[in-house]
Structure 1
Amino acid sequence: MCGIMGYIGTQESQNIIMNGLKKLEYRGYDSVGVAVNNGDSIQTNKAEGRFENLQNLLNESPLQGTVGIGHTRWATHGRPSDENSHPHTDTKKDFAIVHNGIIENYLEVKKELEDQGVVFQSETDSEVVAHLLSSLYDGDVVSTIKKAVQRLEGAYALGIVTEHDPNKLFAIRHDSPLIVGKGECENLISSDIPAVLEHTRDVYILEDGELAILTEDEVKLLDIQTDEPVNREIFRVDWDMEQAEKNGYDHFMLKEIHEQPKALQTTMAGRVDAENHQVQFEELNWTPEQLNKWNKIYIVACGTAYHAGLIGKGVIEELTRTPVEVEIASEFRYRRPIVDENTLVMVVSQSGETADTLAALRESQKKGANVLAITNVVGSSIAREADQVILTMAGPEIAVASTKAYTTQVLSFYMVGIYMAQIKETISSQEQKTLIDTLVQTPDQMEGILEHVKGLQWYAESIQNSDHVFFIGRGMDYAVSLEGSLKLKEISYIHSEAYAAGELKHGTLALIEEGTPVIALNTQEELYDKMLGNIKELKARGAQVLGLAMEGNLNIWQYVDETCYIPATQSLFTPLLSVVPLQLISYYTALGLGNDVDKPRNLAKSVTVE
């Protein structure tokens, strides 16, 4: 979850590391710290809280040196504090480390080190790594690192500087993401690509068990199991730098909401053939024999990606008549899932590094299943390990609350569903044409929603002082309600729940009282009248209802307090449109409350721990 950054080169490292950490704050912002090797000693400075707290300290007392590491923290072991901030050093300050991940056996290692007389300064699991390196040092840093990581259980990406080899920067990973940026007379390490783009677009994406040894002139990769050098092709990043900046928007989240139409178009490009009314996936090339072999499909994901999977279930079952189950990744791997060679498992992760989802992928492959990944990050662990990959083309998403990554995941399920239906011939050519025609209209329809937000701003103001907000829907609308509720919780901190509307009378109505805000989605034509009945039940008990419907269903205004309309489309495709007003309501509600929209409390962007 944390972000790590390292630099070695000819420039002063402190400011380069801090600039990189600023771009990694979405991975955690409980504390931030930097360690610099000035050739004589390792100097550290770190602070609890946001980036600015440390920047103020460094402005007064800068750290000099051209080799350094930095860290922005999402707390797991130990509360946010100066002491628990990274980097951590050993007692003699011969080693300094930054760590992303969790050392699962740290208590055992800590006890052994304490028995040797080591005094710990923090409550973290990470500090054991610095002391372990010092304890095991044998005169060779590479050998010492290898011995140390053999003692560690869990997940880690480590950046290491040491007095024993002051002109080198070391990095190693296992189950946590890490990349190396290859520059001119400078090289860098980072948890994510945006942090190095000011310096280079050439990166190595490390794999598990690989050690990177960096000097200012070269990068060497070593497989620590075999001691053999690793020959890795450089990955050339073709992102536009502006994609990772705000570009005049007040927040990344608002910018990313407005980038969704373009992200959808980019994700469809080369895959949706509007002229011939087909979906093409060169990265899949599935055959009828393969599809007919899979008698069951699992969609496995966490959080927002799980909600995208619920839409995927509805789409795939509707178009292919194949049974689909959607599972929360953190539950899936621990319940002995019934998976075999006749199962297709679809794992969904924005970052491609979500620990629970990666574990589910590996468990599924172990049982013989074919695994398809949907992710936004090329070269991520999930992208590398899956049998097939669909890359969403959302571009970098910086805000913690996901928007464009979610809608491109949902779009990917639509494309996969149509693609499978083409091959299985479960839809007619006319149905296929209608589906494609409807899909390609969606980005323009989404643009239309984004041009009319004033009513949503007003509604957000009306609910920002509420203690509770409820979302209801049926069918696809229920899945979207779950995502809308999560967004509101994430950034406004208002208690919010989503319910299948038919369940209201089975207990939930007890929570409704005079003035309770309810957002009622009613975009499914076959269920429209049923939903009106549920809305009437709410109004009879005093709820203040916002009705969200398609244009043309104008009679809904008679039964609700406020209305919001999305462009008319097929009911199957409304989730791509109906989620946008919910994103905007969440954004403006949080904004009105004065919250940090991009960095909600207690959360981080990429969940790389279980």
Structure 2
Amino acid sequence: MCGIVGAVSQRNIVPILIQGLQRLEYRGYDSCGVAVHQGGELRRARSTSRVAELDAQVLQDGVEGLIGIAHTRWATHGAPAVHNAHPHFSHGTGADAKSAKAGRIALVHNGIIENHDELRAELQARGYEFSSQTDTEVIAHLVDSLYEGDLFDAVQRALPQLRGAYAIAVFCREEPQRVVGAREGSPLVLGVGKGETFLASDAMALAGVTDQIVYLEEGDVVDMQQGKYWITARADGGARPRVDRPVKTVHAHSGAAELGPYRHYMQKEIFEQPRAIGDTLEGVEAIAPELFGDGAAQVFAEIDKVLILACGTSSYSGMTAKYWLESIAKVPAQVEVASEYRYRDSVPDPKTLVVTISQSGETADTLAALKHARSLGMTNTLTICNVSTSAMVRECKLAYITRAGVEIGVASTKAFTTQLAGLFLLTLALAKVRGHLTAEAEADHLKAMRHLPVALQAVLALEPQVIAWAEDFASKENALFLGRGLHYPIALEGALKLKEISYIHAEAYPAGELKHGPLALVTSAMPVVTVAPNDALLEKLKSNIQEVKARGGQLYVFADADTRIESDAGVHVIRMPEHYGALSPILHVVPLQLLAYHTACARGTDVDKPRNLAKSVTVE
């Protein structure tokens, strides 16, 4: 979602700020901007185009400076417009003519300030004028109202008045060698260089600039000056104590990966899945709790149920895992949408293993749900995550780090399939601890997992057939997806992919639910995509297919080779290379990704950066 970069240096930091924004573009954004201290004043450039356009703008305008902040914004409060883009300036109350003319405080912000309306009213009553609809401008004016010559002090005094989530970076015209940052519920890291310091919402933004990273904790405020910094922690009344946070060496990978022969990052990432799965499973020679960290064996032995917390695509991987956990490990499993879980009354059980799933490890709703679960006494926590240095990994006792690599396309592909691989390992580890995994079954599962990269390559070879289907889908405005059992969540994921990037309205149902309502929508204009593995529910699924066919519906079936489902009038079949048993969802989701991708290409949408969406959702 929104991205922050800030710097204090002895060199022109505008190229560093712009480069940092480019490395955060994968998150999704609808405006961007940069502000610096230049010639004794604050200067900024803002754009509702891409960062490349902002770069051209700052070069043309000669914007440069030794300190500055930059931001990519995903709109929450106020439309995507230049006047709502960050950085925001506070222009004082008019009593200070110089401040009113040129601005005194410059600020960028990730998150949402829940009490911004009441703060806005108070500040307007004191003479502050607002030029945007954002909650961020409220913070800038609030800091300005408290400024008495010490920016660090003003920020620390402002924070207790804010309710909500935030990561901020701020500097002042009167202090040309200082940037202050703070975080509460939204990620922020400090980068330590040689004689210079940096802020960023993600260590990736600083790749190539510094690999010395300090992960700020909840409530921290950092004061950055040339070649030095200090951090204070939240305090319950009284002065905020000075604290030391460890400096970690983090080799972050740049998001600016080469596309190679691919048209879009999403296509590239779909085709990277054999490698990503292979890397994620590398070194797994046997099933053992220790795959998930020290102490996992004791935790797994103590728990009697699993609670999965996730959002979006990650929640569908959790729904798939529920089938595995209950059928293979014999562990009751519950899947909760993280954004709903924390706001409802639930019945906690301390013998629950709380599993969070997140590509970025910074998903605000999932982090908040995790903290809520812990507050209810459920302290056995584990995360399946793609970023080893993320907040999610730091907050959980146990972790399995997937190795999908950087995923730049907003619509998740390889992160999803590697999550499934990690969750299948978790299932087997729990089954083994509970005595439900024989040595023979373990060997069979390990063999199947090792074969996954080869099996995925065979599925990817179906792309030309999928492209032909996509040409039919491009003219549609609605679609249904059907699946049963393990493959119902895969149908959900297929529908999500189609609507995310092609903007076709798509819904997924358990196939047995078709006659309970959705069948009313079926006409020749409504394509019905069906996931048809050769499993115990195949004959039931064939009956559902006949229900669609009898109403004149157009069926598009991804069928295992031995299902005996044949192409016919109104029935289009693509045959999967092989049936893959319990791991079949990992194979069946890939052609659904390809169908969404090629349909979006045929419709001419912005595949990697679909409208209104962001990659890492760091606000509620």
Structure-1-length-normalised TM-score: 0.95
Percent of counterpart pairs with the same letter? 40
Could you say what the CA RMSD is over the residues aligned between the two structures, in angstroms?
1.9
Shift of 1:254: 1.4
**Residue 80 of structure 1 aligns with which residue?**
80
**Residue 90 of structure 2 aligns with which residue?**
90
Q: Are 2:587 and 1:577 aligned?
A: yes
**Residue 263 of structure 1 aligns with which residue?**
276
Note if contact 2:292-2:399 (Cα within 8 Å) is conserved in structure 1. no
Task: For 1:344-363, list aligned pairs within 5 A.
Answer: 344-363=353-372
Tell me which moved more, 50-59 or 571-580.
Answer: 50-59
Shift of 1:294: 2.4
Q: Are 2:261 and 1:252 aligned?
A: no
Shift of 1:509: 0.9
Task: For 1:269-308, list aligned pairs within 5 A.
Answer: 269-270=282-283, 272-273=284-285, 280-281=290-291, 283-287=293-297, 290-291=299-300, 293-308=302-317
- Taking structure 1 as reference, are residues 299 and 242 closer, same or farther at Cα in structure 2, changes over 3 Å only? closer
Cα deviation code 1:293-336 (max 9, x no counterpart): 42322111110010000011011111111111111111111111
For 1:604, the aligned partner's letter is: A
Q: 1:400 aligns with which of 378, 400, 410?
A: 410
For 2:159, the aligned partner's letter is: V
Q: Are 2:328 and 1:319 aligned?
A: yes
Note if contact 1:157-1:176 (Cα within 8 Å) is conserved in structure 2. yes
2-structure distance, mates of 1:310, 1:451: 27
Note if contact 2:112-2:164 (Cα within 8 Å) is conserved in structure 1. yes
1-structure distance, mates of 2:129, 2:401: 47
2-structure distance, mates of 1:523, 1:243: 37
Note if contact 2:301-2:433 (Cα within 8 Å) is conserved in structure 1. no
For 1:334, the aligned partner's letter is: Y
Secondary structure class of the residue paired with 1:469: strand
For 2:429, the aligned partner's letter is: Y
**Residue 336 of structure 1 aligns with which residue?**
345
Q: Are 2:538 and 1:525 aligned?
A: no
Q: 2:202 aligns with which of 180, 184, 192?
A: 192
**Residue 44 of structure 1 aligns with which residue?**
44
Structure-2-length-normalised TM-score: 0.94
2-structure distance, mates of 1:201, 1:434: 42
For 2:213, the aligned partner's letter is: V
- Taking structure 1 as reference, are residues 484 and 223 closer, same or farther at Cα in structure 2, changes over 3 Å only? same
Task: For 1:383-462, list aligned pairs within 5 A.
Answer: 383-462=393-472
Shift of 1:211: 1.9
**Residue 204 of structure 1 aligns with which residue?**
214
Number of corresponding residues = 606
Q: Which runs of 5+ in 2 are unaligned?
A: 92-98
Secondary structure class of the residue paired with 1:199: coil
Note if contact 1:329-1:356 (Cα within 8 Å) is conserved in structure 2. yes
Q: 1:602 aligns with which of 596, 600, 612?
A: 612
Secondary structure class of the residue paired with 2:457: helix
Cα deviation code 1:509-552 (max 9, x no counterpart): 11001242111101141111211111111111122211112233
Shift of 1:566: 2.7
For 1:86, the aligned partner's letter is: H
Note if contact 2:22-2:256 (Cα within 8 Å) is conserved in structure 1. no
- Taking structure 1 as reference, are residues 549 and 188 closer, same or farther at Cα in structure 2, changes over 3 Å only? same
- Taking structure 1 as reference, are residues 38 and 16 closer, same or farther at Cα in structure 2, changes over 3 Å only? same
- Taking structure 1 as reference, are residues 224 and 143 closer, same or farther at Cα in structure 2, changes over 3 Å only? farther
Q: 2:250 aligns with which of 237, 243, 246?
A: 237
Q: 1:146 aligns with which of 156, 167, 170?
A: 156
Note if contact 1:536-1:559 (Cα within 8 Å) is conserved in structure 2. no
Tell me which moved more, 289-298 or 507-516.
Answer: 289-298
Q: Are 2:116 and 1:106 aligned?
A: yes
Shift of 1:263: 1.4
Note if contact 1:517-1:544 (Cα within 8 Å) is conserved in structure 2. yes
2-structure distance, mates of 1:376, 1:235: 18
Cα deviation code 1:24-45 (max 9, x no counterpart): 1233421111101115111012
- Taking structure 1 as reference, are residues 158 and 248 closer, same or farther at Cα in structure 2, changes over 3 Å only? farther
Q: Are 2:31 and 1:31 aligned?
A: yes
Task: For 1:488-527, list aligned pairs within 5 A.
Answer: 488-527=498-537
2-structure distance, mates of 1:358, 1:239: 22
Tell me which moved more, 217-226 or 564-573.
Answer: 217-226
Secondary structure class of the residue paired with 1:203: strand
Secondary structure class of the residue paired with 1:168: strand
2-structure distance, mates of 1:292, 1:286: 8
**Residue 384 of structure 2 aligns with which residue?**
374
Cα deviation code 1:71-129 (max 9, x no counterpart): 11111111111111110011121110000000111112111111111111111100011
2-structure distance, mates of 1:193, 1:551: 45
Tell me which moved more, 58-67 or 134-143.
Answer: 58-67
Shift of 1:290: 4.2
Shift of 1:560: 6.1
- Taking structure 1 as reference, are residues 83 and 242 closer, same or farther at Cα in structure 2, changes over 3 Å only? closer
Shift of 1:423: 0.9
**Residue 166 of structure 1 aligns with which residue?**
176
For 1:47, the aligned partner's letter is: S
2-structure distance, mates of 1:601, 1:326: 28
**Residue 5 of structure 2 aligns with which residue?**
5
